[in-house]
Structure 1
């Protein structure tokens, strides 16, 4: 803008200088006319013609110069108008940028608030997870204490059973003579003997040979499939109250019949359960860790019936009770809860 003003002033000065030159020329012509007035008229007239022609030429030059200056001034004014329009556009852009800056600043403040809100929520979530972790540790400690107490009570029960066996030696001798074919069961201990005896309830009607209501025949046996999850000891008591015994597979001389019956039982349980199954059996190694047998019959649990990868059992393991699953037999803690499957 300042450069354009400087150029405008220069044009005005040039025009003023040309006008001054014209005045000087006119004054000079007047002087010449006065000098010519003393000369003869013919000479004066000729000189006037010459002066007139010269003046006309100068006037044309001045006229052309003024037109050029006018064109230049119009060009300057046109450019000044363009610059004025540009300045208005720049002013509008500046106002728009100011408004955009304010909006961006408001968005940044909102994002900063959101980040701070998320940071506070994350901190609260961390504190909650830490508190829940402490609560879980306390529950695990309580569970361990309960497990220790249960093991102590189980050891006490086993001690009482041992005392009972010692006090019934004389009774066993008498029973060997009187029971005949049942002598082998008596040899395996009073607990196994009395658990293996027939229930006073009759599951098989003598005249029909079919399973009672609620029981299902698989092969030559009837089974009751529980739905309620109970502990191992509760499962034993539940089957006894039903008039049967907790699942105990009996060895048969024909291994193919044994395998076929086990497979048929698994297939039936698989049909009864939509997402796999796990049921308590009487299998346990509580008396001799690592040596698994069925509590009710005293028969050992065949190695081939275990699920893949659960064939080795440490004596220091806390899992002393067996469940039947769709993978085979699994060892679990006796305090864990699973449905019971009873047989008769």
Structure 2
């Protein structure tokens, strides 16, 4: 072994130095590359963070704009609906105005014709030497009526009978609620004080239950109309002994059978029926 060891050549110090220098240089290059990559990584991380922040800001702006757009769309839809409602009201008012104008023209023409007829009759009376006081009173009465012709045009959805307008509901409510609805319309529950007004088949149809403005809720057994007038003309269903409800039935509804006229029934005021308004 000693002999073998002695045979090996000793390591040259210069070679070792060269190898050391080479390794040192490679290490420094690797360190430089590492530093460069680390710096590039940090720059990329910074860029990434910046882009993420900008993306989040854009997302927030997008959400805000989307919300604003939805609010504007809602406002637009509301304004469009209000515009359409106003247009409908305008069309209705225009139609009512035209109807009023037509009725006014008709009434004016009728008044003028009445005045001409009165003057003609007066002239004829004078020519015939008639000075009867009754004739004079009649002429004056006709003249007053002609001068005081009043315009009566019913609102849309109402029907005219005589000098009054009538509205029949399409829904059902209690007697008090029905009366309040009529008041909200500038009217009252209908007062039936004549045979002409009792025949409501033409207005509400047969086999219809409708509240009318008659009650004894103030004093049991004392029936009064909503205008505080006492009951005189009566159309009770006597075949069933109406009114027969006592204190439990203080309001009256109109019911039309297959006959030409309907009859009255007293009933619980809280029950829900249709109703008729009059003005």
Decide: shared fold, TM above 0.5.
Answer: no
Mark the structure with the bigger radius of gyration: 1
TM-score computed with the length of structure 1 as normaliser = 0.34
Question: Which structure has more helix as a fraction of its residues?
Answer: 1
TM-score computed with the length of structure 2 as normaliser = 0.41
